[in-house]
Homo-oligomer: A and B are copies of this chain.
Amino acid sequence: MTHAEEMLRTYPADLGGTDREALARSIDQCFDCAQTCTACADACLSEDGVANLVKCVRTCLDCADICDATGRVLSRHTGYDANLTRATLQACVTAVYFCVLEAPQNTAKYAKASAGQATENP
């Protein structure tokens, strides 16, 4: 059981019909993707051909920031509002989508790790 699952299991108020397992997985993937994208942007900076990877760096930095915010929003249940969660997830899905589009231009394996992670994201 991940810490996200454990925190959901011990949440003191009612979570309604929430699929806790799916929610915990989404939360974990958001934080994991934030880490992977931060590391991917940094790895690009150390590539010989960094000049060809600047769009990948930028897309990864955006994706890290948005996944981070999304993981935090999903981790909160007090005063839940579906509209805010939906808008945040929509931004997250868009960021991950562009990250996956950008990654194939980076032939190094770390980009594939990042893309693989990203496509599993909510």
Q: Is A91 in contact with B98, judged by CB distance below 8 angstroms? A: no
Checking B3, B46, B84 against A12 with a beta-carbon cut-off of 8 angstroms, the contacting residue is B46
Mask of A87-104 contacts with B, CB within 8 angstroms, 1/0 = 110110111001000100
Between A13, A45, A81, A110, the greatest number of chain B beta carbons within 10 A of the residue's beta carbon is seen for A45
Q: Is B78 in contact with A84, judged by CB distance below 8 angstroms? A: no
CB distance from A114 to the nearest CB of B (A): 8
| A22 lies within 8 A of chain B by Cβ | no
Q: How many chain copies does the complex carry?
A: 4
User: Known: A68-B68, A76-B62. Is A3-B54 also a contact (CB below 8 A)?
Assistant: no
Q: Is A83 in contact with B94, judged by CB distance below 8 angstroms? A: yes
**A38–B108 Cα gap in the complex (Å)?**
25
Q: Is A11 in contact with B46, judged by CB distance below 8 angstroms? A: yes
- Please list the residues of chain A having a beta carbon within 8 angstroms of any beta carbon in chain B: 3-4, 6-8, 10-13, 27-28, 31-32, 34-36, 38-43, 45-48, 50-51, 54-55, 57-59, 61-62, 64-66, 68-69, 71-73, 75-79, 81, 83-84, 87-88, 90-91, 93-95, 98, 102, 108-110, 113-114, 117
